[in-house]
Amino acid sequence: MTQHDLLLDEFDFENITLDQHGPLVVLTVNRPKALNALNGETIGEISQALDMIADNAEISALIITGGGEKAFVAGADISELAAVDGVYGGREVSLAGQDLMNQVSTLPIPVIAAIGGFALGGGLELALACDVRVASPKAKLGLPEVTLGLIPGYGGTQRLARLIGAGRALDMMLTARQVGAEEALSMGLVNYVADDALSKAREVAEQMIKNAPIALSLVKEAVRRGLDTGLDAGLEIEADLFGMVVATKDFREGTSAFLEKRRADFKGE
Ligand code: CO8
């Protein structure tokens, strides 16, 4: 299916492309001349695309990647950032970026970042909002905001510390150093390193979407909401969502298929 089939006619994206492979969509941030930096227009387009993907029951997983040879996303667009002024303006820019990252992290389908180069600043923050990250050996990940007199503002201070722990996150943010793929793997910042990050991401997505779709979305919800609470409250959330998932037809199908020694045919119901 082409981009045109997938989208409402009025969408005409300049900075991103969407490619659908059956139930899998690949969203490519495509401004290679600026190393795919996120300007306001690109953020708006990604947001529109995510809305469309969330509304499309035919789409079971999303991969986010960067166009060109060098970058996943090299951050927020510094030429636009340079024009931001004043406490109120800065806060608004941060909240708008955070909204996009929240849209990524709350998408009810698996979202995988395929990182083939620089994932810096807002680019790493975009990858952190994804569920799983695959890096190629030439990937470089970092939050260099302090070199610009900034702090990460698209969720990085929060998501990085939650993912790899406060000590490692503080080291990365205070030094502004770029971490290579193997080190990122060793600290849990990425899940896989593969020569072809995009094809590995596809393989991981295919493995995920064999599973029951409602269960996938509820796993995401349980982890995301649970991380914002203490253990007791998190266990309550898990029990509530477990209650919901056993009411699905897919649960009946999954257990029946196991007992009948056949492959489950999940309908997302
Ligand atoms: N924004 C705009 N343009 C960029 C960016 C960027 N983030 N990154 C690269 N580019 C442009 C360069 O300006 C250059 O353009 P031109 O060819 O017109 O000069 C082109 O992309 C290619 O880049 P380089 O020539 O610099 O390529 P190199 O291979 O020499 O270097 C680097 C690659 C190391 C990635 C280098 O480009 C670099 O350091 N880029 C900036 C990385 C960075 O600091 N990112 C963080 C940005 S801040 C951020 O993301 C904050 C998010 C939260 C904001 C909250 C606001 C309140």
- pLDDT of amino acid 6: 52
Which residues have C-beta within 8 Å of that of residue 253, sequence separation ≥ 6?
212, 264, 265, 266, 267
3-class DSSP state for residue 25? strand
How far apart (Å, rounded) are the C-alpha atoms in residues 40 and 52?
19
Tell me the per-residue pLDDT of 95-146, one tens digit each, with 9 for 90 and over: 999 999 999 999 999 999 999 999 999 999 999 999 999 999 999 999 999 9
Tell me the per-residue pLDDT of 243-264, one tens digit each, with 9 for 90 and over: 999 999 999 999 999 999 999 9
**Across residues 149-164, what is the average pLDDT?**
97
Strands 71-73, 61-66: pairing kind: unpaired
Q: What are the DSSP E strand ranges found in 76-148?
A: 111-115, 118-120, 132-135, 140-142
Catalytic residues: 125, 145
Tell me the per-residue pLDDT of 24-35, one tens digit each, with 9 for 90 and over: 999 999 999 999
CATH number among 3.20.20.370, 3.40.228.10, 3.90.226.10, 3.90.1580.10, domain 3-208: 3.90.226.10
Select from 15, 35, 41 the residue to mutate for testing ligand 1; criterion: most ligand atoms less than 8 Å from CB.
Answer: 35
For the CA atoms of the chain, what is the radius of gyration? 19
Please give the single-letter amino acid code of residue 189.
L
> Is the CB of 155 inside a 6 Å radius of any atom of ligand 1?
no
> Is the CB of 78 inside a 6 Å radius of any atom of ligand 1?
yes
More confident residue, 134 or 84: 134
How far apart (Å, rounded) are the C-alpha atoms in residues 194 and 32?
22
* Mean pLDDT score across all residues of the chain: 94
> Is the CB of 93 inside a 6 Å radius of any atom of ligand 1?
yes
Dihedral in degrees, nearest 10, Cα atoms 168, 94, 117, 6:
130
Give me the residue spans of the domains in the chain: 3-208, 213-259
How far apart (Å, rounded) are the C-alpha atoms in residues 172 and 183?
12
Tell me the per-residue pLDDT of 25-67, one tens digit each, with 9 for 90 and over: 999 999 999 999 999 999 999 999 999 999 999 999 999 999 9
- pLDDT of amino acid 11: 65
Give the ligand 1 atom nearest the CA of 90: 57
Q: What are the DSSP E strand ranges found in 61-128?
A: 61-66, 71-73, 111-115, 118-120
Ligand 1 centroid–CA 20 distance in Å is 29
User: Band of the pLDDT at 1, cuts 50, 70, 90?
Assistant: very low
**Across residues 62-76, what is the average pLDDT?**
97
Cβ distance 71 to 36 under 8 Å?
yes
Tell me the per-residue pLDDT of 211-230, one tens digit each, with 9 for 90 and over: 999 999 999 999 999 998 99
**CA 199 from centre of chain:** 16
- pLDDT of amino acid 156: 98
How far apart (Å, rounded) are the C-alpha atoms in residues 138 and 105?
25
User: Band of the pLDDT at 89, cuts 50, 70, 90?
Assistant: confident
How far apart (Å, rounded) are the C-alpha atoms in residues 138 and 195?
9
- pLDDT of amino acid 141: 98
**Across residues 84-90, what is the average pLDDT?**
79
Ligand 1 centroid–CA 72 distance in Å is 12
pLDDT at residue 4 is higher than 50: no
What residues are paired with 21 via a beta bridge?
24
Ligand 1 centroid–CA 35 distance in Å is 7
How far apart (Å, rounded) are the C-alpha atoms in residues 153 and 122?
8
Task: Tell the CATH topology of 213-259.
Answer: Lyase 2-enoyl-coa Hydratase; Chain  A, domain 2 (1.10.12)
Give the ligand 1 atom nearest the CA of 120: 45
Nearest protein CA to atom 39 of ligand 1, as residue? 74
How far apart (Å, rounded) are the C-alpha atoms in residues 187 and 51?
32
Counting residues of the chain whose pLDDT is more than 70, the rounded percentage is 96
